[in-house]
Chain A
Amino acid sequence: MKMENVVAIALALFLSPIVGGVVAGIDRKITARLQGRYGPPILQPFYDVMKLIGKESMIVNLWQILCAYVYLVAAILTVVLLALQSDLLLIFFVLAVGGVFLVIGALAAQSPYSQIGAQRELIQMLTYEPLLILVFVSIYLVTGSYKISEILKFQEPLLIPLALMYIVLGYALTIKLRKSPFDISTSHHAHQEIVKGVLTEYSGPYLAIIEIAHWYETVFVLGICALFWHTNVYIMVLLVVLTYLAEIIIDNVCARLTWRWMLGYVWSAGLLLSFANYTWIYVR
């Protein structure tokens, strides 16, 4: 293996949970400020996870635990593959496998909350996955490759030919990050209608595993956003920061909505935008 690959893997493994945790902390702080509160310290997510690791492990059954670990491994793998500039389609399927195992883990417990949460998580995956594929295909149509290393050689920032696809990606990623109005299967905020959905039956160290996996996923999501302006590092960082800020603001101004609305709205808006953008690619 080449030296730079080793460095990329090491960075992906160790730096991304730190970045993801800090992003989560900043997210909570900004959310609190938007609600007129003072908010927890930035390092709060790390305290939470360390506390969870120190708690007694109470499990429902072994399948649940296996699923938590597979979910974590899949999340790590997506980030590592991204850092290795691998194939977008491969990354997509690894992401899907992780999501499916989270659902299986929730279905393994008999509690009605986690069952409903699992069903809703499936609907969420059904909603964002076609859109994510459309985004990746549009990247292929513009750059001629699914490989990130080839995409990075493209001269023009992807945001210019694919501006509408970036909005579609925004829908998909809001669902993936489980932010309002799409926090249907589970949510980071306090009381919700079905409380914690898919995470209801996870406790202590296993909840910590899922939280860490979520940090990796956040980094992955930001990484995909960064692809859209790869020509200039400063604009890339600006784009990612602005996207996440928009994500937080949408999270705060929206109420959580029903899955029927999500499916109808996201698919119609997403498909329409994709259609417009695809036409634009051909006309150009």
Chain B
Amino acid sequence: MIPKKLLNKSRVKSPWLIHFDCGSCNGCDIEVLACLTPLYDVERFGILNVGNPKHADILVVTGTVNHRNQKALKNVYDQMPEPKVVVAIGACGSTGGIFREAYNVVGGVDQVIPVDSYVPGCAPKPERIIDGIVLALEKLAEKGKRVDEGIFERLAGTREAISAR
């Protein structure tokens, strides 16, 4: 219906992101929210911070994943319609950070869901977070092309759940 080029352009120009605090010390969360303030104003790029995974294109995860909240993380990821990308924020989100060796910690976000862009730092500056999201936008355009061809990337569990329906 809409020309493919225009569609992909709008995808890049209107990324709505959802912020999921997986087990962060709140350092990274504050930096993510700082991006919305008039100083950085990410709405310039059409970025909206939505509170609903069903409306989101980018999942921004801060903090480590532990055995308890990995289900919640998967659930949020599964509820997002394709095309979607994941950005892991901070040392914790990328690898587990200083909590890596803790008995309850699974590790970085990529242990549970596929991550498209990592933003290292403890805590990363808002400029870096914006950089990470812009990097993820390129991936979003690529994934959008694949979705147009009918290829969806899903977690193993979701694929089974959908085919069982």
Tell me the residues in window 5-52 of chain A with beta carbons closer than 8 Å to chain B beta carbons.
Answer: 28, 32, 35-41, 44, 46-48, 50-51
The segment from A124-132, A172-180, A196-204 found at the interface with B is: A196-204
Contact partner, A56, options B9, B14, B50, B147, Cβ 8 Å: B147
Least CB distance from B21 to A in Å reads 13
A195–B11 CB distance below 8 A? no
Q: Which single residue of chain A is at the shortest CB-CB distance from B79?
A: A58
Interface string of B1-25 (1 = CB under 8 A from A): 1100011111101100000000000
Tell me the residues in window 174-199 of chain A with beta carbons closer than 8 Å to chain B beta carbons.
Answer: 190-192, 195-196, 199
Q: Which single residue of chain A is at the shortest CB-CB distance from B48?
A: A190
Interface residue B110 (Cβ < 8 Å from any Cβ of A)? no
Total number of A residues with any Cβ neighbor in B under 8 Å: 34
Q: Which single residue of chain B is at the shortest CB-CB distance from A53?
A: B2
Q: How large is the interface on B (under 10, 10 to 19, 20 to 34, 35 or more residues)?
A: 20 to 34
A55–B81 CB distance below 8 A? yes
Contact partner, B81, options A47, A199, A203, Cβ 8 Å: A203
The segment from B51-59, B62-70, B113-121 found at the interface with A is: B51-59
A195–B41 CB distance below 8 A? no
B10–A36 CB distance below 8 A? no
A44–B14 CB distance below 8 A? yes
Given contacts A190-B51, A196-B51, contact A47 B14 (CB under 8 A): yes
Task: Give the distance in Å from the alpha carbon of A229 to the alpha carbon of B6 in the complex.
Answer: 40
Least CB distance from A27 to B in Å reads 13
Interface residue A57 (Cβ < 8 Å from any Cβ of B)? yes
Interface residue B144 (Cβ < 8 Å from any Cβ of A)? yes
B81–A57 CB distance below 8 A? yes
Interface residue B31 (Cβ < 8 Å from any Cβ of A)? no
Interface string of B22-36 (1 = CB under 8 A from A): 000000000000001
Task: Give the distance in Å from the alpha carbon of A182 to the alpha carbon of B79 in the complex.
Answer: 29
Least CB distance from A50 to B in Å reads 4
Given contacts A35-B38, A44-B14, A53-B2, contact A196 B44 (CB under 8 A): no
Q: Which residues of B contact A196 (CB under 8 A)?
A: 50-52, 55
Given contacts A50-B2, A50-B6, contact A37 B41 (CB under 8 A): yes
Contact partner, A50, options B7, B36, B148, Cβ 8 Å: B7
Least CB distance from A209 to B in Å reads 13
B43–A195 CB distance below 8 A? no
B43–A207 CB distance below 8 A? no
Q: Which residues of B contact A37 (CB under 8 A)?
A: 38, 41, 43-44
Q: Which residues of A contact B152 (CB under 8 A)?
A: 56
A195–B51 CB distance below 8 A? yes
Least CB distance from A187 to B in Å reads 11
Interface string of A50-85 (1 = CB under 8 A from B): 110111111000000000000000000000000000
Task: Give the distance in Å from the alpha carbon of A191 to the alpha carbon of B44 in the complex.
Answer: 18
B54–A202 CB distance below 8 A? yes
Task: Give the distance in Å from the alpha carbon of A191 to the alpha carbon of B32 in the complex.
Answer: 14
A56–B82 CB distance below 8 A? yes
A55–B51 CB distance below 8 A? no
Q: Which single residue of chain A is at the shortest CB-CB distance from B44?
A: A38
B41–A50 CB distance below 8 A? no
Q: Which residues of A contact B7 (CB under 8 A)?
A: 50-51, 53-54
A44–B46 CB distance below 8 A? yes
Q: Which residues of B contact A191 (CB under 8 A)?
A: 49, 51
- Most chain A Cβ neighbours within 10 Å, of B6, B7, B9, B54: B54
- Most chain A Cβ neighbours within 10 Å, of B8, B13, B45, B82: B13
Task: Give the distance in Å from the alpha carbon of A39 to the alpha carbon of B49 in the complex.
Answer: 14
Q: Could you list 9 examples of A-B contacts with CB < 8 Å? A: A39-B44, A41-B13, A44-B14, A46-B10, A51-B11, A51-B14, A53-B7, A195-B51, A204-B81
Given A38-B43, A202-B54; 5 other pairs, CB 8 A cutoff: A37-B44, A47-B14, A50-B2, A54-B11, A195-B52
